[in-house]
Amino acid sequence: MNGASKYKENILFKYKKEIILIFCSLFIFFTIGNVFISSKIETKATATANSYNVVYDGNSMGIVYDKSVADRVYSIAKAEMKDANGEHMKVNKELKYYLEYADDKQITDEDTLLNNLRTALANDKESFQIKGYILKIGDDFQVALKDEDDVKEVLKRAQSMYINEADNYDIDLVRVPYTTSVRMPVITKNNNYNEIGTAERIFKTTTNISEENESDKKDAEIPIETVGVSFAEEVQIVKGFVDRADIANVADATELITKENEEEKVYAVAKGDTLSEIAQKNDMKLSELMKLNPGLEKQKYINIGQEITVTVPEPELSVACDEKIIYTKPIQYTVEKVENKNKYNGTTTVLEYGVEGEMQVTAVVTKVNGYEQSRTVIDEKVIKEPKAKVIEVGIKPFPSKGSTGNFIYPVVGSIITSPFGYRRGGFHHGLDLGGLPVGTSIRASDGGTVTFAGWKSSTYGYTVDIDHGNGVMTRYAHCSKVVVKKGQKVSQYQEIAKLGSTGNSTGPHVHFEIRFNNVAANPKKYLD
């Protein structure tokens, strides 16, 4: 028994390699055979495919022999897709086709395929694009709206932000020649008003202003009417297909096109600033700065801390309008001079004060977003004639430039606002002569030599000192301007400065002193 078992084990061990080789060969044979058979079957399937499974959005609509049949039926189904308003819709999805084996019984007839597609599209309407109106402003902005009425309402609301009479104007969409989809807005009168002019510039009938209103607002600019309205940017409206989610309502669209893109920027005037420098600092032209700040050109000086607008926020859509206004402006009076040979040369006396006249002006002001760009005067009417100012001027030659020993008041027609002597704050060494406007001529109280001419101190301001000889001198302080120079010989009555309020001064006047050997005396004792 033991010997037989051992013999069998030896035989298996002896042919072990051959047995493994046989099994491997059989495995390879069957594997290659299966691959060959599968490939043959697949090749046969491809070769014998005779139809297409028509698939929409992952769902089979039917089987056809020819794809062109399904394409034609699909075009019919798409063309029938309309929204609640009867407007055609745009189907964005395409059909997919898969090869099939089918006999005649499995082929879907055209009517059934059409109905299947109709049902599938009807259930998928929310994904389709619908007809809308795309409002384009310039090259960078657009917003989609539902229909023409919404477009008109948005544009009308935009213009109403800057035009008081917006209800008197309609928005018309005018088709551009040679196109089928682009429309341009034109602002025109509604039927309650007469039209005069073209679509680009519409003028209304004149509105008269009552005398009561005119007198109440005599110096103000009174708007009469808006005579022309347009948009500053190019505006186009294109009709086309848009996604439902992209269509804005009137309120949202209006906010989008009228919201200001930046905050208004204001500059505070600093010490040493000029208007030109302020414009340069803010990358502006001086003319642009003046436009943003109406009335600035009328200011003689700008003040430290004064706020000046340097940028203005702008919306996507700018409304331009021409507004007819009426206002009054002064007519400057003329100056007539009457010579008097008995008064010294340069001496002037006002005989009659001039009175400005008044003119009523009608102008058309062009504004963009409420800011004035330009104005054109179209009518002027004098409503009050000016009255000339009459001045008596002396032509009598000055006496010799030397001292006469007599003193005259340095200004004519003045009043003493502060006398010589003690007063609150200390001793007053002269007379304050006031009651006259800045710029009034100050004349030498007597002839002599100018020993000082210019800014003397924070107390005196601009000052002139004249030496009359023998230790006598006169002083003229708080001047607005000095017109003589140190060392100059002057005659009595000769103009030496202009009355002002410089230095420590409470108002326009001249501080006048007479000194003997530098000791102040009361000028009243020596004045003629």
pLDDT per residue rounded down to tens, the chain (528 residues)? 444 444 444 554 555 666 667 766 676 666 555 544 444 444 444 457 899 999 999 999 999 999 999 999 999 999 999 988 888 999 989 999 999 999 999 999 999 999 999 999 999 999 999 988 888 888 888 899 988 889 888 888 888 888 766 566 677 777 665 444 444 455 554 433 222 222 222 222 222 223 333 334 445 788 778 777 878 888 888 888 999 889 999 999 888 888 876 667 889 998 888 888 888 888 888 888 888 888 888 787 888 889 988 877 778 888 888 889 999 999 999 999 999 988 777 677 889 999 999 999 999 998 888 878 888 999 999 999 999 999 998 888 777 677 888 899 999 889 999 999 998 878 999 999 999 999 999 999 999 999 999 999 999 999 999 999 999 999 999 999 999 999 999 999 899 999 999 999 989 999 999 999 999 999 999 986
* Among candidate residues 422, 521, 512, the one with its CA nearest the CA of residue 474: 512
- Cα 106 to the center of its chain, rounded Å: 71
Question: How many of the other CB atoms lie within 10 Å of CB of 37?
Answer: 10
Query: Number of C-alpha atoms within 13 angstroms, CB side, residue 473?
Result: 15
- Cβ 175 vs Cβ 182: under 8 Å: yes
For the residues of 207-230, what is the DSSP string, one character each? -PPPHHHHHHTTTS-EEEEEEEEE
Cβ-count burial of 500 within 10 angstroms (0-12 exposed, 13-18 middle, 19+ buried)? buried
Sign of CA dihedral 230, 234, 240, 246: negative
Task: Output the CATH code of domain 400-525.
Answer: 2.70.70.10
Instruction: Return all residues near 159 (Cβ < 8 A) that are at least 6 apart.
Output: 166, 169, 171, 187, 229, 319, 321
Q: How far apart are CA 64 and CA 52, in angstroms?
A: 5
Residue 302 backbone phi and psi in degrees, to 5: -105, 145
Q: Whole-model pTM? A: 0.49
Q: Are 142 and 134 in contact (CB under 8 A)?
A: yes
φ, ψ at 5 (rounded to 5°): -60, -40
2-14 and 16-48 helices, crossing angle to 10°: 50
Contact assessment for residue 37 and residue 45, using Cβ atoms and an 8 Å cutoff:
no
Q: Which residues of 54-92 are buried (b: 16+ CB within 10 A; e: fewer)?
A: bebeeeebbbbeeeebbeebbeebbeebeeeeeebbebe
Residue located via tokens 């002027």? 380
Domain boundaries, the chain: 51-127, 400-525
Strands 389-396 and 335-344: parallel
